Structure 1
Amino acid sequence: MISQVTDAISEEVLMWQNRPLDEVYPIVYLDAVRIKVRHDSRVINKAVYLAIGINMDGIKEVLGMWTSENEGAKFWLQVVTELKNRGVKEIFIACVDGLKGFPEAIEAVYPNTQIQLCIVHMVRHSLNYVSWKQRKEVATDLKAIYQAPTVEMAEKNLDAFAAKWDASHPTIARSWRNNWERIIPLFSYPTEIRKAIYTTNAIESLNMSLRKVTKNRGHFPSDEAMFKLLYLALKNIAKKWTMPIRDWKSALNQFSIMFHGRMPTF
């Protein structure tokens, strides 16, 4: 009976991974989590790639899940190519981490997509350098940068951040400056879209839920076993995604103006 159930899930996973997708996703988040899996008689950390789309109704949707030994731009190129082959014609904004070559991999398949460096990743990376006692204060000062009303004010707040923290944490402001060109597209969007980009926190909350499922296991015996459990966890998580993200109607109206001619017509 267990064997039959397992086979049924394997078939379900295959169908899910190959299902047709919507033509347009205004926002797509792309990220990878690390999971321990037995491979060739040794346990390794495998990268599990995830794509989450915000559909036209403002509802989060896991578009797919893939695995590889290492996270790299070349593999992400395969991922976005697969999304296109499954029917995705338009992505307005792709939120990514700071992986080298990642934006170029997306632009090779979706040349009109705006690449936005994920603010959640930037903040999390910055806080890695900060003691628990100072985290709240640093996070508040970082918020003044990415929540600034204009790019000019954001730059001013970044200078103020550097003046305050460079003596003790010089890496943080330098990291933001090095990535500034991929951070500032955020400021060309109205408030509603900016909130949708950095406060939905879609990938981060999903990763946290997946870690809860996997943390009690030392490792998975195979890729197939890992995929089955993660698929069932994703299915369970997605049951809670019934409401559109906050201010979605307003964001959609802004999208229709900003991406005129690329919005689907019904």
Structure 2
Amino acid sequence: MTQFHLTLNADQLKEELMNSDMSAVAKSSMVLVLNQIMEQERDDYLQAAAYERNGARVDYRNGYYERDYTMSFGKVTLTVPRTRNGEFSPSVFEKYARSEQAFLLAMLEMVVNGVSTRKVTKAVEELCGERVSKSFVSSLTEKLDPVVNEWAQRPLNVNAYRYVYADAMYIKVREDQKVVSKAVYIALGVNDQNKREIIGLQVNHAESKEGWFQFFQSLQARGLASPQLVISDAHEGLKQAIQQAFVGTSWQRCTVHFKRNLFEHIPKKGSEGFRSLVKELLNGSSPARARQLRTEIFDQYEGVKGYEKALEKLDEGFEDAIQFMNEPIAYHDQLRTTNNLEGINSEVRRREQVIRIFPNTQSAFRLIGALLKEHEESLDRGNRTFLKGKPTDL
């Protein structure tokens, strides 16, 4: 394996890399990189690849052991290779500890961001004064894809998902020498232990009925059964796809989006009473009370100038906005909006903005998938649950 000798100011490089907003969500990918480097170092030490027979071999493999390793952005657990004579020692715990992982952070950031092998190789040469083979850099990239793909394609028939949140965000991708917008479909499910899982990710050309239907079909192919409730915004294509894909499933329109839509069509002054009634309606606990408040709103504001459009939209979207009230009261706060999924999207967006333009669709899927996979592990840890209370508490 090529020996790396950092020749530049490590502190300065570290500062520049950390300011690039590379997050600890890359920890799992960093583990892959470090493990790969140690594996190649053992091959070099033994002077033989795995299962290779030759007279130059100096020792034999003897499995692995796990070791915690504290880096500047947190602790990771590495799988350290061993040899029979015990004389092999990987350089990770010496050289890379002293350099604060500056080189590996630079390489990993470029690899995860989907930068071409040629550019990565050139950057590494500039940083270290050494050449790294294209095959080595490619092998790091190839190790990231199976991890993300396995997570994104895992079976969904081992859990029942009663509630599913769906949302889309847009990114920029280079395609055929042009920069185009792509829609990223994300689905979040609540399983039968009341814990959240990110159950779907897909990068598509645009947000449309066909795109959403295809996305839902991919979830069903992995074993997703029709949920009780799908929570989303009111994108027309998404609404139609939910109805077509999930027979017997109710749709909950995000009440935050619904309120914004209503308030866009009322006077800015003197509308406090209308706003208060709408908020009380959408924060209600029963369909009966919501219908009573709806009647009060129409009794007070029907025929009042400036409220015509808002009342029309309230009438059209009312039933879809109160479907959460048919679920256990303890779940209402979590089921009435898409806030928790939008929070995840915002976290992805914060990191995605560092890249700005993905070099290709696969690089976008790789990075967003890695971010989502890592974020999922932080959701509802231990005995914590997303939904509180018993399902029978109506």
TM-score (norm 2): 0.56
Q: 2: distance between equivalents of 1:132 and 1:43?
A: 39
The 3-state SS of whatever aligns with 2:236 is coil
Aligned counterparts, 1:152-171, within 5 A: 152-158=288-294, 171=309
Q: 2: distance between equivalents of 1:3 and 1:127?
A: 52
Aligned counterparts, 1:1-266, within 5 A: 1-21=136-156, 22-126=158-262, 142-158=278-294, 171-198=309-336, 201-241=339-379, 242=381, 243-247=384-388, 249-250=389-390, 252-254=391-393
Offset of 1:148 from its aligned partner? 2.0
What amino acid is the match of 1:209?
E
Q: Structure 1 unaligned runs (5+)?
A: 256-266
Counterpart of 1:263 in structure 2 is none
Select the structure with the greater relative contact order (CA < 8 A; seq sep ≥ 6): 1
For the 8 Å contact 2:254–2:338, the answer to whether it is kept is: no
**C-alpha distance 199-31 of structure 1, shift in aligned 2 (>3 A):** closer
Q: Which has the higher Rg, Structure 1 or Structure 2?
A: 2
Q: 2: distance between equivalents of 1:7 and 1:129?
A: 52
Offset of 1:254 from its aligned partner? 4.9
Counterpart of 1:260 in structure 2 is none
Q: 1: distance between equivalents of 2:175 and 2:310?
A: 37
**C-alpha distance 4-139 of structure 1, shift in aligned 2 (>3 A):** farther
Counterpart of 1:262 in structure 2 is none
The 3-state SS of whatever aligns with 1:253 is coil
Q: 2: distance between equivalents of 1:98 and 1:219?
A: 28
The 3-state SS of whatever aligns with 1:98 is coil
Q: Percent identity?
A: 24
1:123-172 per-position Cα deviation (integer Å, ceiling 9, x unaligned): 454566799999x99876543121123334334545666757x7567654
1:171-200 per-position Cα deviation (integer Å, ceiling 9, x unaligned): 544433222232232333331232231267
Offset of 1:88 from its aligned partner? 1.6
The 3-state SS of whatever aligns with 1:148 is coil
What amino acid is the match of 1:77?
F
The 3-state SS of whatever aligns with 1:89 is coil
**C-alpha distance 68-172 of structure 1, shift in aligned 2 (>3 A):** farther
For the 8 Å contact 1:95–1:116, the answer to whether it is kept is: yes
Q: 1: distance between equivalents of 2:274 and 2:357?
A: 35
What amino acid is the match of 1:75?
G
Offset of 1:15 from its aligned partner? 1.6
**C-alpha distance 161-33 of structure 1, shift in aligned 2 (>3 A):** farther
Residues matched between the structures, number: 253
The 3-state SS of whatever aligns with 2:162 is strand
**C-alpha distance 169-228 of structure 1, shift in aligned 2 (>3 A):** farther
TM-score (norm 1): 0.80
Q: 1: distance between equivalents of 2:361 and 2:309?
A: 37
For the 8 Å contact 1:59–1:244, the answer to whether it is kept is: yes
Offset of 1:54 from its aligned partner? 0.5
The CA RMSD over aligned residues, in Å, is 3.2
Offset of 1:94 from its aligned partner? 1.0
